[in-house]
Amino acid sequence: MKFKAEILAAAMICVAFNGNAGKPTPVYLDDSQPIESRVQDALSRMTTAEKVAIIHAQSKFSSPGVQRLGIPGIWCTDGPHGVRPDVLWDEWEQAGATNDSCVAFPALTCLAATWNPEMSAIYGQSIGEEARYRNKNVLLGPGVNIYRTPLNGRNFEYMGEDPYLSAQMVVPYIQGVQDNGVAACVKHYALNNQEVDRDHVNVLVDDRTLHEIYLPAFKAAVKDGGTWSIMPGYNKYNGDHACENQTLLLDILKGDWGFDGVAISDWGAVHNTEKVAQNGLDMEFGSWTNGLNWGASNAYDNYYLATPYLKAIEEGKLPMSDLDDKAARVLRLIMRTEMDRNRPYGSMNSDEHYAAARRIGGEGIVLLKNDKNLLPAENAKKILVVGENAIKMMTVGGGSSSLKVQRETLPLDGIRKAASDKGIEVVYERGYVGDVTGEYNGVKTGQDLSESRSADRLIADAVRAAKDADMVIFIGGLNKSDHQDAEGADRQDYNLPYGQDAVIEALAAANPNLVVVNLTGNSYAMPWRDKVPAIVQGWYIGSEAGNAIADVIFGKVNPSGKLPITFAKDLKDYAAHANGDAEMYPGVNGDVTYKEGLDVGYRYTDKLKKDRINYAFGHGLSYTTFKIGQPALSSKTFDGNGTVTVTVPVTNTGDREGSEVVQLYVRDEKSSVARPYKELKAFGKVNLAPGETREVKLTLDKDAFAFYDAADKMWTVEPGKFELLIGNSSDRISYRLPLQVGQSLKYKD
């Protein structure tokens, strides 16, 4: 049975055919014709008013097509971690559908922590199938903004602090989504690195830092992933909002990178008709209202790219050529999605999707510490689980990525199920009370998390139970509430909330076999770190959270996740906060200045004393052990063209099957400009049986040695001595290989 929307589209096409009875099929309706011919043919048949109509919204999440020509509209959906439930046509309230529940996939910090592009491909394919089944044309995600500060409330939606890692992980996601005839919409382009004053904050950053740190993942999404759409953010860059920014949209995105897709505004991110019309935005959503909760009866006609734009064109104040370009891009998007008769039908809430969510979650969980080989929990007879996050649904909340799930396995339930299969008793104590609410945008968890005991009583009860258990598993962290990990608000400090540190300290004193599992999208302080033998970083894992956590706790899955962010000891150990300079964060008089330049993440923290870092970028342990062998270079020189290959043997020296990530960082020993000491430029993940040795081949091209020369707007490779640093985290380098770059090279994006 066809979908309702597909029946409507087919009916409109029939109208177009009937209107051409006895005539050849219009080119734009013939999908055997080249897409550019179809786009231009359709464009030539449209009136100016029709062209304007298709470049702005007609409802909260849709834009109109051209009914007269049988061209369907576009339906967008949040978000990057699952397909958001439907809302009413012109309101944010729930539509009340009973068939719009989804599978929640792990948040993108968890995906990045797999360090495995294969997982990214599975993720994109799975979520793309869900979006396609719901007949959505544009999936508003993934997000690839760089982790500049651990206070950013939206970091959990992104892929960490390193531009190379983010770039490698975003490409397969996009390709997987678009294989389903659904456009990925990569966001938030660019420099959307804080939620404080996000609508108007003006980012001031030098060109070199912009190109080397904050743009590479977006560039990869366009040039390698072939994304069909991209979303400029709320913030300003150099005085102009991202949706109205000539440098970002025209010069870089559509100029240097040759983007042929659609730039879609964030909801409520447009402010000026003249600027947005001329500076590269193609579609406008949510702007006549504030994008969230108020508007007018004729709101959509009054969008900046609606009646005001049409009037300006008709009066000759704005050129038709810009409108034609926008409309052509939207037509191209429609033909790539809704008008592609060969796109698959997709699927929803399938066993395969739950299996994918569980696999990605298990592979993204990071074992930070495991003294005494406390994990896996194979010998315990009685386990105490403590913490609100063990029983709190995490798929609801956090902003636009909040979901209505078909089901969500809670950590406590997953642990209990796995433990019962092993004959292990599991008991539970709350330990602390955080946020007992469970609602976002009309979706309710239905949980009753009310608690009458005092904070002292909760700790006392947990301590008493801990003394009677073989092992204690504390499950806490943040919780996607305001000022934790959530859109629209940044964290207010670096510590765990709700007095969790006191709970962990008390449990550590009561039982030496304590495992701390924290579910967060950000790093945090660990004043109890030296008192806890085992620490697990769990992220927000989605529908299969409980099962994925249990898989790791009990050894069904050997952890192989690596941190995509640095866990520094204190907030001041991040460059953006090192001096407490308000101009650097959260900004002064509307401007935030990235004075740290390239010193983002490990590029800065690896220069600090070791006691200032709890866990370095790329860190992650396993239940087995590995030996990285002597690497071999395909050549000791690089002439600026072609590639050089590093072959690294890796051996599993333990007694369990497991996976290791070989990381390659490049160091320029002498440069005409200041460069970070080392930068990630290649990595490879390998799975090994006990005793097995396999080779990981890492390939470097000119991009691995280049820096951005802001003066001539060119990438530059200088001749001279480089070092290739090979290890399994940014602070654990096993080998250093010299490499001579033989000649200079300059090139554009």
Residues marked active site are found at 266
- With 0-12 / 13-18 / 19 or more C-beta atoms within 10 angstroms meaning exposed / middle / buried, residue 22 is exposed
User: Can you tell me the distance from the alpha carbon of 68 to that of 93, in angstroms, rounded to the nearest whole number?
Assistant: 31
- Which of 512, 560, 561, 511 is closest to 539 using CA atoms? 561
- With 0-12 / 13-18 / 19 or more C-beta atoms within 10 angstroms meaning exposed / middle / buried, residue 749 is middle
What amino acid is encoded at 546 in this protein? G
Question: Which sign, positive or negative, has the C-alpha torsion 581, 582, 586, 591?
Answer: negative
Q: Tell me how crowded residue 1 is: count the other CB atoms within 10 A of its CB.
A: 5
- Which of 392, 402, 379, 400 is closest to 431 using CA atoms? 392
Q: Tell me how crowded residue 258 is: count the other CB atoms within 10 A of its CB.
A: 10
- 3-state secondary structure (DSSP) of residue 489: strand
Q: Tell me how crowded residue 120 is: count the other CB atoms within 10 A of its CB.
A: 25
Beta strands in 48-106 (DSSP E): 62-63, 74-77
- 3-state secondary structure (DSSP) of residue 701: coil
Tokens of 493: 């400090």
Regarding beta strands 714-717 and 707-709, do their DSSP bridges make them parallel or antiparallel, or are they unpaired?
antiparallel
User: Can you tell me the distance from the alpha carbon of 401 to that of 405, in angstroms, rounded to the nearest whole number?
Assistant: 12
Regarding beta strands 471-477 and 514-519, do their DSSP bridges make them parallel or antiparallel, or are they unpaired?
parallel
Calculate the CA 319 to chain-centre distance. Answer: 37
Q: What backbone phi and psi angles, to 5 degrees, belong to 740?
A: -100, 120
User: Can you tell me the distance from the alpha carbon of 361 to that of 540, in angstroms, rounded to the nearest whole number?
Assistant: 9
Q: Tell me how crowded residue 652 is: count the other CB atoms within 10 A of its CB.
A: 24
- Give how far Cα 433 sits from Cα of 259, 428, 457, 542, 546, Å: 48, 14, 11, 21, 20
